[in-house]
A and B are shown apart, each in its own frame.
Chain A
Amino acid sequence: MKWRDVIARADRIQKSRAFKIAASVVVVAAAIAVFSVYAVQRGLEATEGTLGSGAGIAARADGAQASGATPNPGLADGQAGPAAVDEEAAALGASAGVAGTTKRAMDRVLAGREDMTSLAVGLAVVSGLTIVVIWLGLFLTHLAIAVVIVGIAYPMTQFRPVRTYGSMLLGVAALAWAFNVGLAVVRLLYSGSNPVLSVARNVLSEAVRLKLSLVFILLLMFLLATLPMLLDPQTPLRYRVQAFLQYSTGGAFWLIAVLTLLFSVSTVTLEQRSKIIWQTMTKPVAAWQYILGKWLGVVGLNAVLLLVCSAGVFLFTEYLRSTPAMGEVAAYVPENRGERITEDRLILETQVLQARVSVLPPPDLSPDDPEFQAAVRDYIVGIQNTDPVFKAAENDVQRRAALDALYERMHEELYQSQVTKLRSIEPGQGRPFVFEGLRYAASNSEPLILRYKFDAGSNQPDESYRVTLVVGDRYFLVREASIGMFHAVPIAPVIVVPLPGSSRPFGVTVDDPQFADLEAMMEAGATEIEYLEAGDLIGPEGTLQVDIANGEVTTRYTNPDPMTFPPDGVEISYPHGGYRGNFVRVVLVLWVKLAFLAMLAIAASTFLSFPVACMVAMATFLAAESSGFLTVALETFNYHDQENQVVLAKYVIFTVASAVAGLFGVYHDLDPIGRIVDGRLLAWSSVAVGVGVLGGLTGVLYAAAVLVFRRRELATYSGQ
């Protein structure tokens, strides 16, 4: 039998209904079987204590010794503290089982080890795509291609010199396969007999058959497949995960955004230039149908690209999560047996792969504060005679104008100066930071993280300062912190231990190796130590005060220079929802942004040529992406010269930039990539606002595009 006959026969088989049904059943059964086997295996491992769960650690923690490592260098030698651990108490506590104590934060973190959601998602995605391929009548074809690729790539992964390339090939092949299948699904959705869907489906064909877009798609696949190879295995796991999330999500978004702009422009302008549009618009196709069809086509393409990329990012992030963190011998199994959880793992699980709400303290000073304004006026009165414009004024009107201009300038300068002063703490001094809106955290006893960053002296990177934190007036901590970097301290839950000579007890946080020991002591009945959660620290109005001192208060140690906290230099965050839900919302917002960009490019193409439309679309995109930077830059932008005269060019720049920053404020504030990298919550309310605003802008652009397109004489182009 010739090859051609074999192929023809196989094609008939894969297109037969019986085969499709049977293959679908096999795929679903296989997925369930794999999941079940994995679940059972996990369960057995958990029972045997080899997983590294809390219970497992406790079971192994016989004769746990204090590690001796402490993050509290402020304690003087000889002082009784939680460092000394009773072996018997520890063993007693360990044998009693940690599970008997309410320790939601730790349990939640460690429960991630047993979570198989990612496996379920992965299996569901692969099964779904496979079933689509089966019902498209292409299963055997795809299977054959997969066998060939795996046959080439897998052996490569077994040999060190080409292992990377083999993995890359497998990654690219998997992404390309998912993309092809996803595109087939969207083409099916667009297969209706009406102008809008017909145009949209044509756009999809154009995307994969023209070099312009194909290059971008291949580049995207290559980027995602290559990125994991570039992660340095020596860096802490949390940094690797953050770096991967940053570059994969950010890189994918930027590539897809540029593709969207270029492709959306080309699909409309090149049709006009080559007159292909004549054949379409002499058919019963209204302008609104044509524009809508083009937009839907690009949006559909973006949906497929984004889903494929985000699925790849998500699954690989989950894979990274399951690898050992710094200080672990296996995932969730600390090297140090006395440790319940390593710092790297804790930060990863509670800060990075989370959806945290961040609360900043309210501004110390309002620009409209009456006292401040009065002070500024008094200041100006004092210096007005040194102002050259005021001195040159010839009448009251001119003097008034000069004073107004001077007031405007000085108000901003003095405000910045005052705020900086208020946020500075002199050596040996302290100041309170009050956080509001923490009712949810209190009522749900969510773990609280305090993040802070300060500047001091010349911000030497190898210099560190001692910082004393008094939390909710219930306990205090001392930390050694580097200058100019963010630090995170889990301030709740906490175990507080009385400290002789101190009015406040000392707090032992969950990342402290002694935390587990103290828990055991509590189990044993120790009454002098106390376990505090968020609800114990936060007031009934949802407020929490944290006092920060420049130095170590208990030992009267002071740092050499004042510490200055920037406006976002102190925040409290707590989890509000899961990382996975947050990830879905982030992808949704990215898709909405891309849809806006697509309509922007199409609208520009209705009346501009290809290069000009590309330029306009790109410029608008860059302006939108940099609107956050613009907002910050405009705060210090001065459009006056040294003689306090308004410089027209600068004023124009200021006005335009302000308009752009304001227009795209929502676009920037959504910041989906920043949120997923930092583990900050992107709430559904924010998503709704983003969709509403961007959707509205998209609608305005659509209406404008239709109006312009209807008026165009399509038989002319660029004046021809």
Chain B
Amino acid sequence: MARRGFTTRGSGQSVVVCQGLIKTFKDFWMRDRARAVDGVTFEINRGEVFGLLGPNGSGKSTTIKVLLGLLRATKGRVAVFGLPPSDVETKKRIGYLPEESFLYPFLNARETLDYYAKLFEIDHRTRSKRIDELLDMVGLKSAQFRQVREYSKGMQRRIGLAQALINDPELLILDEPTSGLDPIGTKQVKDLIIELGRRGKTILLSSHLLADVEDCVSRMVILYGGKIRAEGTCEQLLESTSRTTIETETLDDATVAEIDGLIRRRSGGDHSVLRVSRPRQRLEDLFLDIVEKARAEMAPTSGARHDGQTASFLLGGPVVGDDLISSLTSDVEEPGAAGPMAPMQEARVGAARAAEPSEEMISSLLRDASRPRDGDEGGESRGGEDGERGDGADELGAVASVAARDAAARARDGRADVVKGPAAAPAPNPARGLPPARSAAGKPPAAPANVDDDLIRNLLGDKGDKGDGTAGGAGGAQGSRT
């Protein structure tokens, strides 16, 4: 018997459709007590990383609970995979990580995953394999036989994440996924989210930690008081069109003054240098550096490990952009005319090669980046072109920097496998128009408004020539800083 699903207005690729959702909580006497969600409408398309943002009490978790069938909508229509949220069939395709990990305290990690896997009727062999991979991925293999009640909050969040992934879900709903995690764990979760997004998973991410969300989501809504206050992509919502930031090596005061003078002259006195400062390393970067060093020194830890690989069953099939990454790392994978090398040497060479992509590839990237975006105005087109070139080049820099870091890590670990490039790193996908992954060094420079390319070249001097290599240099610089 065919199931009767919802017929809601939505695109054919919509995984989640929410129309006019209202959720009102009533008291014992059935009086309205609180309207947690008030007329929320949105859709989540297949393959999107969708952000549901808002401060505490804005209705994020309530919305998620309605989507999962834990609450019933007071009004409005909700459909997940075209079916009502309460439908059991829907839940076979969903993975859910609640805001806190509500786990059976008397089970150990292995038993926990085994229990949830059985709820999906996964056979014994597959179950066993997935549990091993997930435990390794979340770094709990050494603690898998300890009861969950003995875990720290971070460890519980990790096992919570693992259970959300046990069924290789098509739709992953994460409610405050980084809550309770240290910066490394946070980064790993973010990397995982991005990776899963690349692999075609649809992800609904709810958080009030905006910095964590910004790096991952492709589209978002921002809630307040149960209503949507803003909706759009990161670019639409975050890009500032009234400022330009240029980053260079240290400049002396005279040079700064000269730049200021130039800007004033060019703008007829309307614009000037607003602020000169030295960029600060982010605390997160410092933290990551320190931990990396500790790991390199093989310092012992009884907590979760952070070196797990993404479980293979989650990686699925090929991903758009894989060719790009493969080609970037193809030089490293080829043994080369120099003949076989020692693993450490290979890794170092691989790292070096990853940091120096071929010119052909750079050109192709720049060509891609130079295609005008929709809506770009003419005046900005050149800037935009350069900006995109900058963006494309910066993508390359970001890719290279991550590849370099991974290669360095593998070299330290003495692995024989060649750097494969940033397979686990947030990789760009120009075809899908996603914003470039943010490197640890910060955001890429946007095209300055009302400042032409000549100025940039002048300011950057010889380094500008390398940019057909410019961004390569900049990216290389970024890579070297990390």
Contact = CB atoms under 8 A, between A and B. Distances in A.
Question: Do the two shown chains form a genuine complex with each other?
Answer: yes
Interface in A189-204: 192-195, 197-198, 201-202
A274 B102 contact: yes
A716 interface: yes
A501 interface: no
Contact of B102 (A193, A205, A210, A279): A279
B116 A283 contact: yes
A281 B119 CA distance: 10
Interface string A271-301: 0001111111111111000000000000000
A209 B106 contact: yes
Contacts of A282: 68-70, 91, 94, 96
B106 A210 contact: yes
Contacts of A280: 116, 119
B265 to A, nearest CB: 63
A713 to B, nearest CB: 5
A193 B70 contact: no
Q: Which of A195, A210, A715 has the most CB of B within 10 A?
A: A715
Contacts of A37: none
Most buried by B among A193, A197, A209, A281: A193
A625 interface: no
A714 B116 contact: no
Contact of A195 (B89, B119, B124, B127): B119
A276 B104 contact: yes
B91 A193 contact: no
Most buried by A among B65, B104, B117, B121: B104
A282 to B, nearest CB: 5
A206 B115 CA distance: 13
B291 interface: no
B103 A279 contact: yes
Contacts of A201: 115
A198 B107 CA distance: 13
Interface in B78-124: 88-89, 91-92, 94, 96, 98, 100, 102-104, 106-107, 111, 115-124
Contact of B118 (A198, A277, A715): A198
A719 B28 CA distance: 7
A674 B41 CA distance: 66
Interface residues of A, number: 30
Interface in A250-290: 274-286
B163 interface: yes
B71 interface: yes
B27 interface: yes
Contacts of B117: 193
B131 to A, nearest CB: 13
Given A205-B111, A713-B71, A719-B28, A284 B102 contact: no
Contacts of A209: 106
Given A197-B118, A198-B119, A280-B119, A713 B28 contact: no
A260 B117 CA distance: 28
Interface in A666-720: 713-716, 719
B339 to A, nearest CB: 45
B25 interface: yes
Contacts of A194: 118, 121
B72 interface: yes
B24 to A, nearest CB: 12
Given A193-B124, A283-B119, A284-B89, A713 B106 contact: no
Interface in A353-378: none
B70 A198 contact: no
B106 A206 contact: yes
B81 to A, nearest CB: 12
Residue among B25, B28, B106, B117 with most chain A CB within 10 A: B106
A284 B71 contact: no
A279 B116 contact: yes
B contact residues, range? 35 or more
A284 B88 contact: yes
A205 B118 contact: no
B97 to A, nearest CB: 9
Contact of A285 (B27, B107, B119): B119
Contacts of B89: 284
A714 B418 CA distance: 50
Given A193-B121, A193-B123, A202-B115, A275 B25 contact: no
A286 B86 CA distance: 9
A713 B72 contact: yes
Contacts of B106: 205-206, 209-210
Contacts of B167: 283
Contact of A278 (B70, B72, B111): B70
B98 A193 contact: no
Interface string A170-208: 000000000000000000000011110110011001100
Nearest to A290: B119
Interface string B155-167: 0000000010001
Interface string B167-182: 1000000000000000
Nearest to A283: B119
A283 B117 CA distance: 9
Contact of B71 (A193, A205, A276, A715): A715
Interface string B63-76: 00100111110000
Interface string A473-491: 0000000000000000000
A206 B104 contact: yes
Interface string A629-655: 000000000000000000000000000
A279 B25 contact: no
B66 to A, nearest CB: 9
A286 B88 contact: yes
A715 B86 CA distance: 13
A293 to B, nearest CB: 10
A225 B103 CA distance: 37
Given A193-B123, A193-B127, A209-B106, A281 B70 contact: yes
A161 B41 CA distance: 79
Given A193-B124, A210-B106, A285-B119, A279 B72 contact: no
Interface string B389-433: 000000000000000000000000000000000000000000000
B124 A279 contact: no
Contacts of B119: 195, 198, 280, 283-285
B115 A275 contact: no
Contacts of B103: 276, 279
A192 B124 CA distance: 9
B481 to A, nearest CB: 42
Nearest to B112: A279
A274 B101 CA distance: 10
Contacts of B111: 205
A198 B114 CA distance: 9
Nearest to A280: B119
Q: Which of B28, B96, B120 has the most CB of A within 10 A?
A: B120
Given A193-B121, A193-B127, A275 B27 contact: no
Interface in A553-584: none
Nearest to A275: B102
A257 to B, nearest CB: 24
A58 to B, nearest CB: 64
B111 to A, nearest CB: 7
Nearest to B25: A716
Which 3 pairs across A and B sit closest by C-beta, in order of nearness?
A198-B118, A209-B106, A715-B70
5 contacts: A192-B118, A201-B115, A206-B104, A280-B116, A716-B71
Interface of B: 25, 27-28, 65, 68-72, 88-89, 91-92, 94, 96, 98, 100, 102-104, 106-107, 111, 115-124, 127, 163, 167
Interface of A: 192-195, 197-198, 201-202, 205-206, 209-210, 274-286, 713-716, 719
Given A194-B118, A197-B118, 17 more contacts: A193-B117, A193-B127, A202-B107, A205-B106, A209-B106, A274-B102, A276-B104, A278-B102, A279-B96, A279-B102, A282-B68, A283-B116, A284-B88, A284-B91, A284-B120, A286-B88, A713-B72
